[in-house]
Amino acid sequence: EVQLVESGGGLVQPGGSLRLSCAASGFTFSTYWMSWVRQAPGKGLEWVANIKQDGSEKKYVDSVKGRFTISRDNAKNSLFLQMNSLRADDTAVYYCAKVDHLWTGQNWFNPWGQGTLVTVSS
């Protein structure tokens, strides 16, 4: 069974840093793109970042560029999100997700982890 388990969330002051982790199991982690998606309290879903299988390609939503860094350790089946210069509007549940795709290019998030809550507040 494919499983994704996030950790590392918590309360942090504005301007602070936090590192999220996602432990993957049940599939060959090194052969899939992976993503982070977030959801602010009571709001919709927002894609945050993607990373290619070997880590050579990374993409970010504009609002986190220069502040967040996505990375992975294929030997440890783990995905990470380093979040610096955190702001109140970064407060959200952060989900990691495996990216499935067709050979024709269509791709989607499946499955999702249970999420970890990040609260940015003084």
Partner 1 sequence: DIQMTQSPSSLSASVGDRVTITCRAGHYISNYLNWYQQQPGRAPKLLIYAASSLQSGVPSRFSGSGSGTDFTLTISGLQPEDFATYYCQQSYIPPLTFGGGTKVEIK
What does the binding site for partner 1 look like in residue numbers (CB under 8 A)?
Answer: 35, 44-47, 50, 59, 61-62, 95, 100, 102, 105-115
* Closer residue to partner 1 (CB): 105 or 122: 105
Least separation in angstroms between CB 14 and partner 1: 24
Could you tell me the smallest distance in angstroms from the CB atom of residue 120 to partner 1? 21
SS3 sequence of 34-81: EEEEEECCCCCEEEEEEECCCCCCEEECHHHCCCEEEEEEHHHCEEEE
Shortest distance, CB of residue 107 to partner 1, whole angstroms?
A: 5
- Given a contact cutoff of 8 angstroms between Cβ atoms, the answer to whether 94 and 115 are in contact is yes
